[in-house]
Chains A and B, each alone.
Chain A
Amino acid sequence: MSSVEISVEAPIEHQIQEIAYDGTEIYQPPLTLSENLSKCAARIDFSKTSLEDLKKEDDKKGDEDVKDPTQLQSSLWPWDSVRNKLRDAFTEICVLSDVLSIAKEKRYLVLDPVPQELQDTKPMVQVYARKKALSQAANVLMSGAERLRNTHSEQRNNRNDFHIELLRLRQNWRLKKVSNTIIGDLSYRTAGSKFMHPGTFEVTKAEEDPPSDGNSPSSSPAAGAQPPCPKANSALRVNVPSELQGVAYIKVITQKDQEDLCTANVNLMGHGQNITPQVGVWQKTLEFAQNVLFCKELFSQLAREAIQLQAPIPHVVVGNQIRATLLPGIQLIISLCHSTGQDPTPPGPINDHDHVLEHSLHQLLREVHHKNTHHPFPHPASGPLGPSKKHMLAGPMAADRHELLEMSKSQTLLEQIISQAQHIFMRKRTQYVLDTLARDVKDPQIVSHWNLMNSPTMSCVKINIVTHGYDTINRTSLVIHVKERSLKCICRDGRVMHLSYEPQELRDLILCQINQHQSACLLNLAKCMAWQVLSNSNHLGIGPVEPLGNASSCLLASPNGDRMIAVQIICDPQIDVKVYIARSPRQDFFPSPLVPGKFWEHLGGHFKEVRFDKLEGKNFLNKMEFLMASLTSSS
């Protein structure tokens, strides 16, 4: 083996310190031996603790201990760091020797061997552990990358920031932070509701892709059943409890013998239309959920009252349905419909629903809420809160037993809604009766004016009965107050009649009024025509018995007394008029053995019936006017 010796040494050239402008290089003078040594010594790293290092260190220490005093005097600075390190090492050694000497005595200190745990280093376990560690590290990296990508894509899509969305959410809903989650409040408790449901929802940050929902650990199980967001441009997601999901509404049906009369659906979904564009999709979700909560509260309140109320025909509560009897044969059915389907399509026909009952139910519960939070002023500083202003004043105003008893009566929600439904039904029935009568009875015209302003349980209609062309002669007017289960009719002469809910009673009353109108008009007309009224009776006691009272009649005589007209007005079941005329004395008088003198003819009595329907004229009064005029002129 031929070995080639290679000597490695520092180049002879000294380091260039500076190059002058003329190209001359100024060299650094080479280090002296001691300088070199101090430089090398300063390079030593004393913190190395391996055995070899320690050995080397010991060697160096030996060397430097020798040189230490000499170097100290000559050049203090270059050795200073070395000296300090050595001193530290020396201190440590001293401490170690002290500890050892104390341990040797065994009086103060005993050294026990520390049991060394034997690591069972199975290779497979190690492999797995490493794999796991690696995968965790990979996950961290992956999630970081994912998040970065998310933010990038958000910026790219001009997507709204989560925090800005949260800010908007906070402007409309109550939120609070509980540890790591944001909890919102859907309930109406701040508005005065006493419903026990917590009504909370959770706010989370939306994931990027809808399919990744299932994998994400943050989404609660409720998120799976939630209807998917129609638009994906919201950075915020709300998780509503499962019992508040879906769409709920309260259906009110008035049923007569299994036939629906009117239906009302209470749902607040109409609010969804006027969402301002800057609020997110969550607004709709939350409004639906709040609607569900409201419907549930309303229904539970109604159901509770239905059970407590002592009605003559008890109310029935079965499942999600309350049945109450309004009038005989007519039922009010209030049912809670809650569909938790994925699609929020409003089931049932909404086209023909009645806004009135819907609104009333809504309003009634809101009123209860309002009363719970707003106590009437002034309330005493020391007295209890809650009683109404009337109750507060009862003591100082010296209310007696009867007044206090009246005060204690209050209507429950169900009673109020039943009375409103009854009223609506009564109003419809009255309208129907009046309209059919106005359609059927042509001769006197029936005009009904409904008051626009009315209360939920009371409305008012004014009825005018006039004859076309003769409305200045007479006008019969009456007012009907439509209440919950009864009607109150006030005639112009001050008579007040109370009618029940049966439509036939109202029909009969109007027919009687028409009858009276006709006879009163005829009397007035006769006065204008200078005819004399010989007799007039609203209740003619003779003739066939009418189902509705008696016929009315009147007997008129011409100005010179030679003609008479007898009129009978029957109002059963249609207005029917019979007119008779008589002439006395008859112009063609032939004496007979029975009636020898002409003067007997003044007694009258030979009445002949006029075929009234063949008479000229538009209506009863018109015909009568023609008849009277013709009889007058011919005399």
Chain B
Amino acid sequence: MGVTVLQPYSVPEGQTGPQTIEFLAKRLLALGAVQASTFIVDCETFIPNPQHGTPKTVHVLHNSEYPASTFAVLDTGTKQVPLVADALFDLLMLKMAPAHTSKKQTKIESKGARFEYGDFLIKLGSVTMAENFKGILLEVEYRPCVIPSNCWELIRELLQGFLGVSIPATIPPYFNTPSIMSMNHPKSSEIFNPNHTKQNDVYQPMDTINQYLEHFGNFRKQTMLSGGTGIGAPLRS
């Protein structure tokens, strides 16, 4: 249990996705990382039937790092309600078929190899939506620490080191959102303390899921716009 940061990586021109992943894997192995099995994170989106009041989308996610759990995010448009549940939650969603229907075309997943490199856990995920390759999403976990702001620099250095890409020095925007503690306060908008953000809070498994959801959303938008932009271009290929 540590801090996880997600980083999309754009496929260089003239190369296919699998080639890029193979290339990154070789680099990791050369660094001394050890491959330790594989991983998969999948996300299924349930769209409510229009006759059932206000539209509330439900995203159901699974993460192979947490094999016993099912994660769900209820998206009302203004607010996101997270839920961690047992694996039986999937069966519950099937029962709710009249209210929510799953759109199989939007099922998106990121899967690939999992590398252990000292205290780091690096996952090279290739994102596919309905069997179509969408891009590469890297997950880096620093296991000994639980406060994101304390280890962001370490993670950034590692990312820069093996990707050969310059990573912005600021922590990803997800960690700048107010933490749960300050959000629950009735006057949260008035007395918002910039230090009460997620980067100074204890990292939760749900944070990983929220980041995945955010990036999956980006990939879906890209599909609609039919253009892909990761951050930064590789310095050397």
Contact = CB atoms under 8 A, between A and B. Distances in A.
Interface residues of B, number: 17
Interface stretch (B82-90, B127-135, B172-180): B82-90
A400 interface: yes
B88 A397 contact: no
Nearest to A397: B84
Interface string A396-416: 111111001000000000000
Nearest to A383: B88
Contact of A404 (B67, B71, B85): B67
A400 B84 CA distance: 13
A contacts with B: majority SS: loop
Contacts of B71: 398
B202 interface: no
A391 B69 CA distance: 11
Contacts of A345: none
Interface in A347-403: 380, 382-383, 391, 394-401
B31 interface: no
A378 to B, nearest CB: 13
Contact of A395 (B1, B86, B204): B86
A395 B69 contact: yes
B70 interface: yes
Contact of B206 (A391, A395, A398, A400): A398
Interface in B57-90: 64-71, 84-88
Contacts of B65: 400-401
A404 B206 CA distance: 18
Interface residues of A, number: 13
A399 B65 CA distance: 9
B214 to A, nearest CB: 18
B8 interface: no
A395 B205 contact: no
A394 B66 CA distance: 9
Contacts of B205: 398, 400
A400 B143 CA distance: 12
Contacts of A398: 66, 69, 71, 84, 204-206
Choose among A382, A395, A396, A398 the residue with the greatest number of B CB atoms under 10 Å from its CB. A398
A396 B85 contact: yes
Nearest to B87: A395
B88 A382 contact: yes
A382 B66 CA distance: 22
B85 A400 contact: no
A396 B86 contact: yes
B68 A399 contact: yes
A431 to B, nearest CB: 39
A396 to B, nearest CB: 5
Nearest to A392: B86
Contacts of B1: 400
A404 to B, nearest CB: 6
Nearest to A382: B88
A622 to B, nearest CB: 52
Given A382-B88, A383-B88, A396 B69 contact: yes
Contacts of B69: 394-399
A67 B108 CA distance: 123
A396 B84 contact: yes
A397 B67 CA distance: 11
Contacts of A397: 69, 84
A401 B69 CA distance: 11
Choose among B67, B68, B84, B87 the residue with the greatest number of A CB atoms under 10 Å from its CB. B68
Interface of B: 1, 64-71, 84-88, 204-206
6 contacts: A380-B86, A395-B68, A395-B88, A398-B71, A398-B204, A399-B68
Given A395-B86, A396-B69, A399-B66, 17 more contacts: A382-B88, A383-B86, A383-B88, A394-B69, A395-B69, A395-B70, A395-B84, A396-B84, A397-B84, A398-B66, A398-B84, A398-B204, A399-B68, A400-B66, A401-B66, A401-B67, A404-B68
Instruction: For the complex of A and B, list the 6 residue pairs with the smallest distance between their C-beta atoms, beginning with the closest.
Output: A395-B86, A398-B205, A394-B68, A395-B68, A398-B69, A395-B69
